[in-house]
Amino acid sequence: MQKEIYIQKNDKLVATMPFYVKKYYLDKSTVPLSPSTLYQYLNEFRRFFNWLIDTNITHAHQIKDISLADLEHLSKEDLGLYKAFLLNRGKETSQNPRTTLSHRTVNRSLNALSALFRYLTVESETETGEPYFYRNVMKKISLVPDSETLQTRAHNIKSQLMLENDQQYLDFIWHSYAKKLTNKRQAKLFERDWERDLAINALMLGSGIRVSELTNANIKDLNFKQAQITVLRKGGKQDLVPIANWVLKYIQPYLLIRNERYQAATTPALFVTKGSKGPRRISSATVELLVAKYSSAFNNIRITPHKLRHTLASKLYLETHNEHLVATQLGQTSTKATGLYTHIIDTEQKNALDQLNSDSD
């Protein structure tokens, strides 16, 4: 989703919220938190406020009428019930009306509430210089232990990574995908967009940037000669990200046709698409769809852009065995999340087990 669309959606959500959430939104917009992060937080606030109304914990009938006193006097038991609600209710979709939320999803919801309560009890400031209130019930609520070990999670996603065939995948898009097309309209669209789509896939595989970072990047942010790209990380921080040199040959064809093919000379966006009113910045949803399309055609495994990020991180860890370096490449402030890649790259562990077997023979 484009940054401008997130902002529009955020403005609509904020209009339904209590004044203190509006104040939170304004303050965090200048920190800044990214519009996409704020969108996720606002949706979590809305879910929580609706639950307060549905359970009659608040006497308010509309979200905007939920008072600071309602939040200040919430008990640990109240939040425990909400936590149980998240764990048991699940996410409703048309295909799966009552699926179960993962523990990571529940924890994201609890973290969003923790951020709001921290703001209300510590970061906010009234006319007297004091926060809105001091009692932070969220400090008493623990996160849900992850139901999967890193080893299990790594096993589940490893088949979706391109650890040994990433360049074969790109060459498939470049030279072979068109041969699979029988629909004339699809063939025409591919002929128009293949250089762009190739560059997008290559850049994610060779840099590990997030799909939102890719779609928000401008043409001036790409330094082709230095093989670097400047992106806006989570939290609104700029970061200069190295790109693997082998990626450049896949990006160059797009740069050569970008302006003429898409009439993009007047738009700052690095990756664009054709719209009825002229070129526009490509959306995250479009990138997700095109990655799914090409990966399915390549090896019958539909993957997401995030799996391309996992692929880069795993290969970088295999090469360096340096979690700090991987975290830096991914724009992460700690190595907490990089432990996954030590389990994905389990070749040494498997070799050690095999050696144990041979020694016992």
Taking the domains of the chain in order of start, what are their residue ranges? 3-147, 164-303
Tokens for 275? 């719209």
With CA atoms as reference, report the closest residue to 31 among 112, 139, 119. Answer: 119
In CATH terms, the fold of domain 164-303 is hpI Integrase; Chain A (1.10.443)
**Do residues 54 and 37 make contact, with C-beta atoms less than 8 angstroms apart?**
no
Closest by CA to 164, choosing from 352, 344, 357, 350, is: 344
Using CA atoms, how far residue 108 sits from 213, 221, 235, 269, in Å, is: 20, 31, 16, 30
d(CA 170, CA 168): 5
Residues whose CB falls within 8 Å of the CB of residue 152, separated by 6 or more in sequence, listed in order: none
Structure tokens at 296: 């399915």
Query: Using CA atoms in the order 147, 148, 149, 150, what is the torsion angle rounded to 10 degrees?
Result: -140
Average pLDDT over residues 223-245: 91
Which pairs with CB-CB distance under 8 Å and at least 24 residues apart come from 105-108? 106/144, 107/143, 107/144, 108/40, 108/44
Q: Indicate whether 350 pLDDT > 70.
A: no
* 204-224 mean pLDDT: 94
* High-pLDDT (> 70) share of the chain, %: 84
Give the pLDDT confidence of 297-344 residue by residue, as tens digits: 998 888 889 889 988 988 888 888 888 898 999 998 777 666 666 666
Per-residue pLDDT, 337: 65
Confidence of residue 360 (pLDDT cuts 50, 70, 90): very low
Residues 334, 326 contacting (CB under 8 angstroms)? no
Is residue 218 helix, strand or coil?
strand
Q: What is the mean pLDDT of residues 194-210?
A: 96
326, 320 Cβ separation under 8 angstroms = yes
As given in the structure block, the two tokens for residue 338 are 């990089």
**Nearest by Cα to 51 from 78, 30, 25, 26:** 78
Q: Please write the tens of the pLDDT for every residue from 210-219.
A: 998 999 999 9
